[in-house]
């Protein structure tokens, strides 16, 4: 399983265009791995999770052939994850020489949002699927995907996703604070072992091991500890952080040093991870 990070920022991006904090000002000069576009990943050139506002730029930057993508998962409908308007470019008379429909999965709010934008869609281009919490889906590209409840917005079911294929298992774990107990119990009782996990780390230090809405540094470490205790992680599980915010107060290299003792990797835009 090959995971490519298109973007690794929280909702404002880094630098935030409306911000003059120390982090944003440093990033404007230093650039490099500290430039972060909004969060999204592509798996095996077949599946994408979320569509960021910078989608077109991300795809051009990484030279990705989007006509190969068969599935899109939406975690929730916050605008930094749900740039559904860009899908209009895949409609008939806009995108040409497309040989398969794009299967879209998400909560009912996400699917209805897609339908509102793509009112004239055809089944040749799009197939819409409402994902139900804790019910495993087999996607069009052969992944076993289970939506698990996130600890995030209160007006919709927000999902993290357990994704399985060819004997490998990954957990895409954001946007979410410390996971809800129903999710913890499902992961523990499933008996599944995770090979790669991606946690968000929007907050910096918060002196709280179980933050809501988003994870702090302490929450990431607490969640890792529970994953190990509950035998969900194995000894070679790779854990990465993403969805970083300028408001956390740390540059990329700072975060690398903070997480290094715990064998946690800090993702950056364009990073590819293979398990």
Count up the domains in the chain and report the number: 1
The CB density around residue 9, as the number of other CB atoms within 10 Å, is: 24
How much is the pLDDT for 198?
Answer: 98
How far, in Å, CA of 161 to CA of 75, rounded? 8
β-strand 40-43 against 2-7: which pairing, if any? antiparallel
How much is the pLDDT for 219?
Answer: 98
- As separate numbers, helices (DSSP H) first and strands (DSSP E) second, the chain gives 6, 14
Parts of the chain with a pLDDT under 70? none
Residue 5 contacts residue 269 (beta carbons within 8 Å): yes
How much is the pLDDT for 275?
Answer: 94
Residue 33 contacts residue 127 (beta carbons within 8 Å): no
How much is the pLDDT for 57?
Answer: 98
DSSP 159-184: EEEEEEETTEEEEEE-S-SSPPHHHH
How much is the pLDDT for 131?
Answer: 98
Count of positions (residues) in the chain:
275
How much is the pLDDT for 118?
Answer: 95
Output the 3-class SS for 123-156. Answer: CCCEEEEECCCCCCEECCCCCEEEEEECCCCCCC
CA 225 → CA 3, 232, 263, distances in Å?
23, 10, 12
Q: What is the domain extent for residue 251? A: 2-274
The CB density around residue 59, as the number of other CB atoms within 10 Å, is: 18
How much is the pLDDT for 218?
Answer: 98
For residue 121, give both structure tokens: 């869609």
How much is the pLDDT for 36?
Answer: 98
For residue 169, give both structure tokens: 């298992």
The CATH number given to whatever domain includes residue 174 is 3.60.15.10
How much is the pLDDT for 230?
Answer: 98
In Å, the largest CA–CA distance within the chain is 53
For residue 113, give both structure tokens: 């949002």
For residue 180, give both structure tokens: 């809800």
How much is the pLDDT for 269?
Answer: 98
How much is the pLDDT for 80?
Answer: 98
- The kind and range of the H/E element at 197 are strand 194-200
Give me the half-sphere count of Cα atoms (radius 13 Å) on the Cβ side of residue 171: 30
DSSP 24-38: HHHHHHH-GGG-BPB
């Amino acid at each position: 399983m090959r995971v490519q990070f298109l973007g690794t920022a929280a909702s404002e991006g880094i630098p935030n265009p409306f911000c003059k904090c120390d982090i944003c000002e440093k990033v404007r000069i230093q650039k490099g791995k500290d430039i972060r576009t909004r969060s999204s990943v592509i798996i095996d050139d077949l599946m994408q999770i979320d569509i960021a506002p910078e989608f077109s730029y991300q795809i051009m930057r990484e030279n990705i052939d989007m006509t190969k993508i068969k599935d899109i998962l939406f975690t929730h409908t916050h605008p930094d994850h749900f740039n559904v308007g860009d899908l209009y470019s895949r409609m008939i008379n806009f995108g040409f020489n497309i040989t398969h429909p794009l299967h879209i999965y998400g909560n009912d709010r996400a699917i209805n949002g897609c339908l509102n934008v793509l009112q004239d869609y055809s089944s040749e281009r799009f197939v819409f699927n409402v994902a139900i919490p804790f019910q495993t889906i087999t996607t069009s590209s052969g992944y076993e995907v289970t939506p698990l409840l996130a600890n995030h917005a209160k007006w919709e079911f927000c999902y993290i996703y357990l994704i399985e294929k060819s004997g490998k298992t990954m957990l895409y774990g954001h946007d979410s604070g410390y996971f809800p107990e129903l999710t913890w119990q499902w992961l523990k009782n499933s008996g599944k072992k995770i090979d790669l996990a991606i946690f968000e780390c929007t907050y910096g230090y918060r002196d709280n091991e179980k933050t809501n809405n988003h994870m702090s540094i302490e929450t990431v470490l607490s969640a890792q500890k529970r994953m190990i205790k509950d035998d969900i992680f194995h000894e070679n599980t790779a854990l990465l952080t993403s969805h970083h915010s300028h408001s956390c107060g740390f540059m990329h290299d700072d975060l690398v040093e903070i997480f290094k003792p715990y064998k946690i990797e800090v993702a950056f835009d364009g990073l590819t991870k293979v398990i």
